[in-house]
Structure 1
Amino acid sequence: MFDKDKPIYQQIREKIEDQIVNRQLLEEEQAPSTNQLVSFYKINHATVSKGINQLVEEGILYKKRGIGMFVAVGAREKLMKKRKEAFVDQFIVSLIEEANKLEISEQEIIEYIKQVKERESE
């Protein structure tokens, strides 16, 4: 269920982020409570709270006192921006570096990407 190479609180946080990015959780919609997540995943309350609190600090979730956690307006947009930046850092930079070593042109890279996307959509 959980990846042993990554802290569980981070994985909980990413699961909620994924639900927002995938539009399973919409803006102003109630997010799963800490207690629901503790019960569902059978993990420590402090672990879940740490992941949730990070999302609150970043303005992705907000608390309504006595009611629960809700997805903030603009949360999906913030997450998409953050993930696109991470995508560039994690994948595009190394792709360009390797392409330069192999003397692959920008046009060739684009063509390779199109070919792969075509194969994946079949």
Structure 2
Amino acid sequence: MLTKKEQRLRRARQTRIRIASQGVARLTVTRTNLHIYASVISGDGSKVLAAASTAEKDVRATLGTTGKGGNVAAAVLIGKRVAEKAKAAGVEKVAFDRSGFAYHGRVKALAEAAREAGLQF
């Protein structure tokens, strides 16, 4: 019997194999109960081109005194930030790697915010 984490990592592995064959940059999302992290990784997987997370000091200041990163509003903010940083680094097209998490809630909010900010995937 696989644990919940093992199941998620198994789903993630399948996605990463498919994305690697495309050879495009990937937008990865990792979420914890308290924070959400997003990074754009180069097509060959060797370099992080852009990254944003709710653990950053200025993001926590923007989120207010509680600094809560575990909600949809925080995910939207991170989606916009990572898209702006990626465009500044010259990346327009990415493949969305949700790391085995369901495309729902915070993960979906981050993806839609990145799309609205101009990333294509």
TM-score higher than 0.5: no
Q: Which has the larger radius of gyration?
A: 1
Question: Which has more strand, going by share of residues?
Answer: 2
Question: Which has more helix, going by share of residues?
Answer: 1
TM-score range, shorter chain: under 0.3
Q: TM (normalized to structure 2)? A: 0.28
Q: TM (normalized to structure 1)? A: 0.28
Higher RCO, 1 vs 2 (CA within 8 Å, ≥6 residues apart): 2
